[in-house]
Amino acid sequence: MGGGRSPDRGSSSGSVTERTDRLTAAYAWQEPQVVEEPDFDPSIDAPFLEDVPHSPTIVSPYGEHGGRCGYCNKSATGRISWGMTAIKVRIDDYEAMQDLGWTRSGTWIPQYVIRLDVAKFVASKEQKHVLAKMERFLSDINNTPENFRHHQQQHGRTDANAKDEHERGRESEGESEDEVDETSVTATQPESVEPQLKDNDDALKKALLADIVRKAVRRCVDAGEIPAVSGGDDVEVAISAAASERERKRRGDYSSNVALKLLALYKHSDAAKSEAKATERAKDDDEVPREECVEASGSGGDGDGAGHDRSQVVKKPGKENTKEKKNETRRADAGRANEIAVKLLAHVERVLVEEESAAGVKQLFGDEGVRVVVAGPWINFFAQSTRAQHQQRSAQGTRGSRKAKKQQSEPDAPSHGPPIPHQFEMEIRPSQYTEESYLLYRKYTMQIHAKEEASEKSYTDFLCSTPLFDDPQGREDEALPPSGGYGSFHQYYRLDGKLIAVGVLDVLHSCLTSVYFFYDPDYAFLSLGVYSALKEIEWVQQTSLAIPRFKYYYMAYYIYDCPKMNYKAKYRPSDLMCPFYREWVPLEECIPRFQASAGRFTALVEREEPPPQAERLPIDYVPVLYEDCLVGFSQIGGRLRARVQPLVEQWCALVTADIASRVVLSIRRR
C-alpha cells in the first residue's frame, strides 16, 4: 500500500505542475497591469500660484466651434471661433482681453476691435442734425410722434432721403439692432483742421459748464434751498448747444435743463407724494357738496328749481376739465422748475468766479467770460465774445432800415416765455432685470427683428446677468465715474416718465463699451441709436475731466464687408486693432487693405518684417480650478490632463503670457 501511494504522490505532484503550466499559458496573452496615474498630484510644487490675484477671473473653456453668422447668415465653413463660459471676470482682465479681440459674444466673420478717442471726436453734419431734431422734439410738450413725423415729412426730412435718420445697431449674439445705411464704407478725405478744433472746443465748453452746474446743484442741496432727494446731488447734467442763430439769441450759446430733472426727481420722491396727498385732502375739505350749492343758489321760487342760478351748480368733470387740469399741472411744474433754476443761478454765478472755474472759463471763453440768465426752467449761458459779434453784425445789417428805426422808437414788447418742454431724463443704473425694460425689449425684438416673443429668462441671461466685477484694491482713493463704479450698467432714456430706450454698457477702467441698444419702435423717427451713441460719447468726455485715463469709447468690433456694421465708421476718427502687429491703426487707412483682402483676415499695417511672436506661457504654469481648489496645471495628470491639455495649449496661444498667468481655467471630471 505504501508502494502503491508513492506513485500516487508522484502523480499528484505532477498534476499540480501541469495545472500551473496550464494557468500560466492561459493568462500569457494579458499585459501586465499598470497603476493609473491620478488626476491630481499634490506633491508637485506650484509656487507661481502666489502671483494669481486673491479674487481672480475664472472661465470655463469649451474651445473651437463653428456655425452660421447671425449678421450676414453666411456659413462658417473654413472659419472657427474659440470660446468659453465666463464664471466671473475682473474688470482689468476683461479690458486687456477686449483689446485682443475678445467680446461677450462674437461671429465667425473676420472682425477687428474698434475704438474712438473721444478727445478727437468730430461730430458729422448728419449726427448734429440728429441732436437738433431731438432738441426740436423735446422743446414743446405738444410735440407727439404723429404730428412731429408729419412735420418732418412736410419739410422733406424723411427716412428715405435724410442720412441722419439711419439708426445705428449695436450687436451681440449675431444681431444688428437698428436699420443702418447699407452702402459700403469708402475712404473719405479728412475734414479740415478748423472744424475739428471748433467741435473739440465745443465739447470742452460743454464739459466745463456741466461741471459748474453740477457743483451748484450740490451746494444748493447742501444749503437746503432745494429738497434733498435721492440722486439729486448726483443728477446727470447735460449741456446743449444752440443749433441755430435764432435759438442762440433766445436761449444763449449753451443751456441746461437740470431744473426740470431735479423737479422730476422730487415728484417721484416720497416727500412729494405725501405733499400731494395733503393737498388733495385739503382740497376735498374746501369743496362744497352739490346739494348745498344748489340750495344756496335758490331765489325763493316755487320749489321746482326754476329759480335756481344754474351757473352755480357743480358740474361733473368732463374732457374739458381734465384737459384744463393737465394744463394747470404743467404750468405749475414750469413755475416750480423756474424757482429751482433761479435758486441755482446764484450758486452758478459764485462757482464761475472761483479760481479753478474762472481759469477754465477764461481759457475757453476768453476774458469776456459768460453771462448766465434764467428763462423759465432753463439756465442759459451767453458767451460774451459771441454776443458782442452778434450785436455788431445785427447793427451793421439793420442800420438805417425802417425796421431798425421802428425798433429804436418802440419800447420792448413783452416777451412770451418759452413753450413747456418735454421732460427727458437719462439714468444709469447697474444692469438688472425690471419688468419695464423687459417689456420694451420684447416689443423691440418682435417689431424690429420680427422674432418670436422673448422669454424673461432669455432677456435676463442675455442683457442683465453679468460676470464682470471690480476689485478696487489699490484704487480706494481714486475718483469714480458718474455711474458710481465699474461693471455692467443699463442707461435708461425716459420721455415724460415713459421708458423709450435702454443702452447696455460696460464701464471699464479706461473706456465705455457699448454692448447693446434697444428702443420703442414708436420713437424710431428720433434716430435714437445715433442719439444714444452721441450721448455716450459725451458721457465719456465729461468723465475724462475727472478721470484722465477714461477717454475711449468702444463699439465692440468692426466687420468691413458686413453692411450692418458700416455705421461704426461714421464716428470719426476711430481706430482698429491690427490682430497681427497689435497696433491701433486709423480706420480710414485700413479700407484699402480690406478691399484687397477679399474678406480674409488680414494685417492692417504693411511691414517688411514678420509680426513679432508673442511670448507664450508654458502650459504647466497655467492656474486651474480643480474640485473647487486653485492648483497649477503641472499638478494635473492622468486622463484628465490628456483630455484638457489641447484646450490649455490653445488658450496660451490666444492670449498674452500675462493674461494666461492670472486667469483661472475651470476644469472638471466628466
pLDDT tens column, 409-457: 444 444 455 678 999 999 999 999 999 999 999 999 999 888 888 899 9
Last residue of a domain, one of 557, 590, 612: 557
How confident is the model at residue 63, as a pLDDT?
80
Cell of 85: 463660459
- Does one domain contain both 449 and 536? yes
Non-local CB neighbours of 366 within 8 Å, separated by 6+ positions: 384, 385
- Does one domain contain both 203 and 258? yes
Q: How far apart are CA 81 and CA 396, in angstroms?
A: 67
- The torsion angles phi and psi of 241, rounded to 5 degrees, stand at -95, 150
CB atoms within 10 A of CB 333: 18
Residues of the chain with pLDDT under 70: 1-36, 65-80, 105-110, 154-200, 228-234, 269-321, 385-418, 670
Is residue 85 within 8 Å of residue 91, measured between CB atoms? Answer: no
Is residue 389 within 8 Å of residue 245, measured between CB atoms? Answer: no
- Does one domain contain both 431 and 506? yes
Last residue of a domain, one of 503, 532, 557: 557
Is residue 372 within 8 Å of residue 388, measured between CB atoms? Answer: no
CB atoms within 10 A of CB 234: 13
| Alpha-helix residue ranges (DSSP H) falling in 223-289 | 245-251, 258-267, 270-286
In Å, how far are 240, 243, 251, 404 from 247, measured between CA atoms? 11, 7, 6, 21
- Does one domain contain both 377 and 442? no
3-state DSSP call for residue 498?
Answer: strand
3-state DSSP call for residue 176?
Answer: coil
Is residue 229 within 8 Å of residue 269, measured between CB atoms? Answer: yes
Is 602 inside a domain boundary? no
Is residue 175 within 8 Å of residue 335, measured between CB atoms? Answer: no
Q: How far apart are CA 604 and CA 113, in angstroms?
A: 12
Instruction: Tell me the pTM.
Output: 0.60
- Does one domain contain both 443 and 529? yes
Is 451 inside a domain boundary? yes
Conformational region of residue 461, where left means phi above 0, alpha means psi within -120 to 50, and beta covers everything else: alpha
Is 371 inside a domain boundary? yes
Last residue of a domain, one of 532, 557, 582: 557
> How many residues are given for the chain?
670
In Å, how far are 140, 277, 330, 332, 560 from 325, measured between CA atoms? 18, 16, 9, 10, 55
CB atoms within 10 A of CB 376: 19
CB atoms within 10 A of CB 516: 21
Q: How far apart are CA 346 and CA 325, in angstroms?
A: 33
In Å, how far are 398, 406, 418, 525 from 411, measured between CA atoms? 17, 9, 21, 43
DSSP per-residue codes, 97-120: HHHTT--SS--SS--EEEEEEGGG
- Does one domain contain both 125 and 220? no
Is residue 447 within 8 Å of residue 521, measured between CB atoms? Answer: yes
Cell of 56: 481672480
Q: What is the pLDDT of residues 379-399, one digit of tens each?
A: 988 887 655 555 555 555 544
- Does one domain contain both 265 and 366? yes
- Does one domain contain both 501 and 369? no
- Does one domain contain both 262 and 338? yes
In Å, how far are 499, 605, 659 from 656, measured between CA atoms? 42, 21, 5
Supply the CATH number for residue 458's domain.
3.40.630
Running DSSP on this structure, what letter comes out for residue 460? I
- Does one domain contain both 439 and 521? yes
Q: How far apart are CA 419 and CA 522, in angstroms?
A: 24
Supply the CATH number for residue 359's domain.
3.30.1360
- Does one domain contain both 464 and 540? yes
Running DSSP on this structure, what letter comes out for residue 304? S
3-state DSSP call for residue 439?
Answer: helix
Structural domain that includes position 460: 116-138+424-471+480-557
Strand-pair category, 498-507 with 487-495 = antiparallel
How confident is the model at residue 179, as a pLDDT?
36
- Does one domain contain both 458 and 508? yes
How many domains, the chain? 2
In Å, how far are 172, 174, 556 from 517, measured between CA atoms? 10, 13, 13
In this structure, is the dihedral angle defined by the CA atoms of residues 69, 74, 76 and 78, taken in order, positive or negative?
Answer: negative
In Å, how far are 1, 10, 15, 16 from 6, measured between CA atoms? 9, 6, 14, 16
Sheet of strand 629-632, all strands in order from the earlier edge strand to the far edge: 468-469, 81-90, 58-65, 664-667, 623-626, 629-632
Is 235 inside a domain boundary? yes
Is 179 inside a domain boundary? no
How confident is the model at residue 502, as a pLDDT?
98
Q: How far apart are CA 83 and CA 65, in angstroms?
A: 8
Residue owning grid cell 507661481 = 48
Is 252 inside a domain boundary? yes
Is 22 inside a domain boundary? no
Is 363 inside a domain boundary? yes
Q: Which helix (H) or strand (E) holds 447?
A: helix 435-448
